[in-house]
Chains A and B, each alone.
Chain A
């Protein structure tokens, strides 16, 4: 048996206050592709940065990290020695492609630099030529031009390819990737993952891929390490771990990740184990893991079944999901153009089309998903539906009231009927306000005692105790904050709830809890739900109808199952096939 490419033994990382990694050990064999999965705060990025020797100065690592061909423990090696290893024997790709490149340097030069540093090319000119080769190998179109571009001229996916080209330049034995595709769109993610896989296979390199998304590991890796609170709790072949997880935490993680597996009420499996709230400053008694609504309302209206249609650019403008009678939301010919800054003096103002001629209905009680990638126009559409922005042309009627172009004073009733839940659990609550004032904010002309009573009841409904009222948002975890956001949205008893990527920033387990809560509340309050997301899985789980948005248009709309299983539009097909999935392996 050959020596492993990477051998980590009893790796411990500590801050001055506490230990963060509690002695982890693993090997990676030559050419092996290993995934490291864990929630935020589990220590997975720390593992990679310790291996690279790039920990922040305030943290210390002990244990041993051995890379084949180098006889010293890298944790104890002097900086000079490490500099020879980094970028040469092992290389790393980070999460944020937008900021990982030097904005003032041409990308070709940045790729060439890694070869001149390690003298793997004899001269500057050769390094530059090989940089162009490498850019071609990572499938960038016209690599010679890309080499002369500055980072801001490239998209996120292109930048991540540049970083990959850089990392692979010296044919490293080990490639570390820390959430390499988390910041990317689904279709781009699929291509970059495929590229990573092919590059390491071609060169016989080993891979350590860090991610929070088990489906990504299923696509790329052979083996998976599960990291939970600084300890590796499971280590095994991907197929085995996904289908027959041994450790309770892994079982829970996989159950919560699988958005297709639901119980008899259509809820995700979250109850098998106690909810982990280790670092939460709020006593765990405040956080019941879910609301008991089993006695809940009988099913409401018979769900409205949408027609399955796709965009026909040649013919008449399509009205998607057209509802007979009075729909809750009715959008006709909605367009929004933006003027980009600049132009003016000598050139015409460049116009960006946010939305073009969008028409659709949403029926009472429907759970309407809007799915699209960044820049597709889905956020613009959401802002129009909530009257946070004015359309350039077209109409938006909500509950029979035209809201496009309406003055704010005519929107009072609308405002109480349509409420929003936002994505960012950090940014959606004012850090300077107490929870009671945050939740009571949408109430108008309600006296203080009644408002407080309603806030308390609403917090109870989302599973938070009354003593949460006098706290500030920073005292809550991400999932709890999202519950507060939901409480704020429901306090006016709206008929329509609009959710903007409401679970995208949450860890898998918390995501499952919040999705269940949302589903319960939608039933209980008989809400019409409009759920905007980039995540096809979440939409499929939660929504009965889906509209796929691309390039400012709805390209396809219909019942969720039909659209996903039998996509009509080429873009939808591309999107569905690009979505990483664990279904094949789990057999679900």
Chain B
């Protein structure tokens, strides 16, 4: 068990390093001369050369990568080419907001998807099951940012119960924080929940056909009890896989939702820096986003090991 976890940690670390290399290649090598991008097309050759030296671009790529990644490891994301300010503190502030938003949405999505998915599976052949299933299909097709706008229209514009956007620090005003969190989290979580409920449904339907459910029925358990006692934990295994894969989608969904609700999270920061073509900042933010995805995937993997005894012994 410990060995399995240690191996996973090793693989995770290696994955993070590779992801950082990919990020570096994309944003530091692919665009060409970062000095020219920073100065714009009208800069003279001499200015560009001077800027290149100042940014350390005359060093070999591998040295630049190691320098960058080494600094990132201690929390130093370098300096913005636009504002000349260090990037790290901005990222740290924004990350906290995005983490809160994403985790709340995951919880909401699960709270919605698990009962809903089970219900649509169990009532599969009944009319209400078909209707519920149709609703979840529509939910999958609605983009999160549209759901956000609709929520704003109803709850902020028409009913005026909640604010249409913005963010309040929980340390300052917890009530205000919740008020600002609730709509974006629902917008993000409901759409992901719809997607997830489809997988819960498929997984439960699959499990209901499994041999061990038949064994449970033969023991004298009714269909419902057989499913709850034996089926659901088994159905959870493939759903967890999907959840792991969905996290990346959820995170980019958060990028868009933050824009809808003007939340100063990583997504808004990323989009601002993209608009300014501030590549060193973009590079740092992308790395943080990707590592966040990998980290959550890693945690899902670990959770697997706890649920499924077959993985514990498979060293």
Name A's B-contacting residues (CB within 8 A).
52, 54, 57, 79-80, 83-88, 91-92, 94, 96, 99-105, 113-114, 117-118, 150, 152-153, 163, 166, 341-347
Q: Are A86 and B212 in contact (CB under 8 A)?
A: no
Q: Are B210 and A114 in contact (CB under 8 A)?
A: no
Residue of B nearest to A114 (CB): B219
- Residue interface mask B200-243, A partner, CB < 8 A = 1: 00000000001110111111111100000110011000000000
Picked from B3, B215, B222, B310, the residue with its CB within 8 Å of the CB of A101 is: B215
Q: Are B218 and A86 in contact (CB under 8 A)?
A: yes
Q: Are A343 and B315 in contact (CB under 8 A)?
A: yes
Query: For residue B219, which residues in chain A have a CB less than 8 angstroms away from its CB?
Result: 86-87, 91, 113-114, 117, 166
Query: For residue A345, which residues in chain B have a CB less than 8 angstroms away from its CB?
Result: 3, 6-7, 10
Query: For residue A94, which residues in chain B have a CB less than 8 angstroms away from its CB?
Result: 211, 214-215, 218
Q: How many A-B residue pairs have CB under 8 A?
A: 84
Q: Are A80 and B309 in contact (CB under 8 A)?
A: no
Q: Are A342 and B217 in contact (CB under 8 A)?
A: no
Residue of A nearest to B232 (CB): A104
With A103-B212, A113-B219, A117-B220 known as contacts, the answer to whether A342 contacts B315 (CB < 8 A) is yes
Ordered by A's residue number, 26 sampled pairs between the chains whose C-beta atoms are within 8 Å are A80-B222, A84-B220, A86-B217, A86-B220, A91-B218, A91-B219, A94-B211, A100-B212, A100-B215, A101-B212, A102-B216, A103-B212, A103-B234, A103-B308, A104-B233, A104-B234, A105-B230, A114-B220, A117-B219, A117-B220, A150-B309, A166-B215, A342-B314, A344-B7, A345-B3, A345-B10
**Is the contact region of chain A dominated by helix, strand, or loop, or is it mixed?**
loop
Q: Are B220 and A87 in contact (CB under 8 A)?
A: yes
Residue of A nearest to B7 (CB): A345
Picked from B6, B214, B309, B310, the residue with its CB within 8 Å of the CB of A100 is: B214
Q: Are B315 and A87 in contact (CB under 8 A)?
A: no
Query: For residue A88, which residues in chain B have a CB less than 8 angstroms away from its CB?
Result: 220
A233 to B216, CA, bound (A): 33
Known contacts A86-B218, A86-B220, A91-B219; 4 further A-B pairs (Cβ under 8 A): A80-B222, A101-B212, A102-B212, A104-B234
Name B's A-contacting residues (CB within 8 A).
3, 6-7, 10, 125, 210-212, 214-223, 229-230, 233-234, 307-310, 313-315
Picked from A83, A150, A344, A346, the residue with its CB within 8 Å of the CB of B310 is: A150
With A94-B214, A99-B211, A342-B314 known as contacts, the answer to whether A104 contacts B308 (CB < 8 A) is yes
Residue of B nearest to A176 (CB): B218
Picked from B211, B308, B313, the residue with its CB within 8 Å of the CB of A96 is: B211
Query: For residue B234, which residues in chain A have a CB less than 8 angstroms away from its CB?
Result: 102-104
Query: For residue A101, which residues in chain B have a CB less than 8 angstroms away from its CB?
Result: 212, 215
Q: Are B315 and A152 in contact (CB under 8 A)?
A: no
Q: Give chain A nearest CB distance to B205 CB in angstroms.
A: 13
Q: Give chain B nearest CB distance to A93 CB in angstroms.
A: 9
Residue of A nearest to B11 (CB): A345
Closest 10 CB pairs of A and B: A87-B220, A87-B219, A99-B211, A150-B309, A86-B220, A114-B219, A342-B315, A102-B212, A92-B218, A100-B211
With A103-B234, A152-B310, A163-B215 known as contacts, the answer to whether A347 contacts B315 (CB < 8 A) is yes
Q: Give chain B nearest CB distance to A182 CB in angstroms.
A: 14
A347 to B230, CA, bound (A): 35
Residue of A nearest to B234 (CB): A104
Residue of A nearest to B224 (CB): A79
A114 to B6, CA, bound (A): 39
Q: Are B218 and A87 in contact (CB under 8 A)?
A: yes
Q: Are A104 and B214 in contact (CB under 8 A)?
A: no
Q: Are A83 and B220 in contact (CB under 8 A)?
A: yes
Residue of B nearest to A91 (CB): B218
Q: Give chain A nearest CB distance to B15 CB in angstroms.
A: 15
Query: For residue A52, which residues in chain B have a CB less than 8 angstroms away from its CB?
Result: 218
Residue of B nearest to A98 (CB): B211
Picked from B125, B217, B310, B313, the residue with its CB within 8 Å of the CB of A54 is: B217
Q: Are B214 and A54 in contact (CB under 8 A)?
A: yes
Query: For residue A79, which residues in chain B have a CB less than 8 angstroms away from its CB?
Result: 222-223
A88 to B269, CA, bound (A): 65
A278 to B210, CA, bound (A): 30
Q: Are A118 and B220 in contact (CB under 8 A)?
A: yes
A104 to B310, CA, bound (A): 8
With A104-B308, A150-B310 known as contacts, the answer to whether A346 contacts B217 (CB < 8 A) is no
Q: Are B214 and A103 in contact (CB under 8 A)?
A: no
A103 to B233, CA, bound (A): 10
Query: For residue B307, which residues in chain A have a CB less than 8 angstroms away from its CB?
Result: 104
Query: For residue B3, which residues in chain A have a CB less than 8 angstroms away from its CB?
Result: 345-347
A341 to B234, CA, bound (A): 24
Q: Give chain B nearest CB distance to A173 CB in angstroms.
A: 14
Q: Give chain B nearest CB distance to A131 CB in angstroms.
A: 13
Q: Are B310 and A103 in contact (CB under 8 A)?
A: yes
Query: For residue A117, which residues in chain B have a CB less than 8 angstroms away from its CB?
Result: 219-221
A57 to B209, CA, bound (A): 11
Query: For residue B212, which residues in chain A have a CB less than 8 angstroms away from its CB?
Result: 99-103
Q: Residue among A80, A105, A341 with the most chain B CB within 10 A?
A: A105
Residue of B nearest to A80 (CB): B222
Residue of B nearest to A153 (CB): B313
Q: Residue among A96, A100, A118 with the most chain B CB within 10 A?
A: A100
Residue of B nearest to A342 (CB): B315
Q: Are B218 and A102 in contact (CB under 8 A)?
A: no
Query: For residue A150, which residues in chain B have a CB less than 8 angstroms away from its CB?
Result: 309-310
Residue of B nearest to A170 (CB): B220
Q: Give chain A nearest CB distance to B315 CB in angstroms.
A: 5
Q: Give chain A nearest CB distance to B226 CB in angstroms.
A: 10
Residue of A nearest to B221 (CB): A117
A102 to B125, CA, bound (A): 25
A80 to B224, CA, bound (A): 12
Query: For residue B233, which residues in chain A have a CB less than 8 angstroms away from its CB?
Result: 104
A79 to B10, CA, bound (A): 52
A341 to B315, CA, bound (A): 8
Q: Give chain A nearest CB distance to B88 CB in angstroms.
A: 33
Query: For residue A84, which residues in chain B have a CB less than 8 angstroms away from its CB?
Result: 220
A27 to B224, CA, bound (A): 32
Q: Give chain B nearest CB distance to A350 CB in angstroms.
A: 8
Query: For residue B229, which residues in chain A have a CB less than 8 angstroms away from its CB?
Result: 113
Residue of B nearest to A118 (CB): B220
Q: Give chain B nearest CB distance to A99 CB in angstroms.
A: 4
A92 to B223, CA, bound (A): 16
With A52-B218, A346-B3 known as contacts, the answer to whether A102 contacts B230 (CB < 8 A) is yes
Q: Give chain A nearest CB distance to B206 CB in angstroms.
A: 12
Residue of A nearest to B211 (CB): A99
Q: Give chain A nearest CB distance to B12 CB in angstroms.
A: 13
Picked from A104, A114, A163, A343, the residue with its CB within 8 Å of the CB of B309 is: A104
Residue of A nearest to B309 (CB): A150
A343 to B210, CA, bound (A): 32
Query: For residue A343, which residues in chain B have a CB less than 8 angstroms away from its CB?
Result: 315
Query: For residue A99, which residues in chain B have a CB less than 8 angstroms away from its CB?
Result: 210-212
Q: Residue among B211, B218, B223 with the most chain A CB within 10 A?
A: B218
A128 to B200, CA, bound (A): 32
Q: Are A83 and B211 in contact (CB under 8 A)?
A: no
Residue of B nearest to A167 (CB): B218
Query: For residue B214, which residues in chain A have a CB less than 8 angstroms away from its CB?
Result: 54, 94, 100
Residue of B nearest to A150 (CB): B309
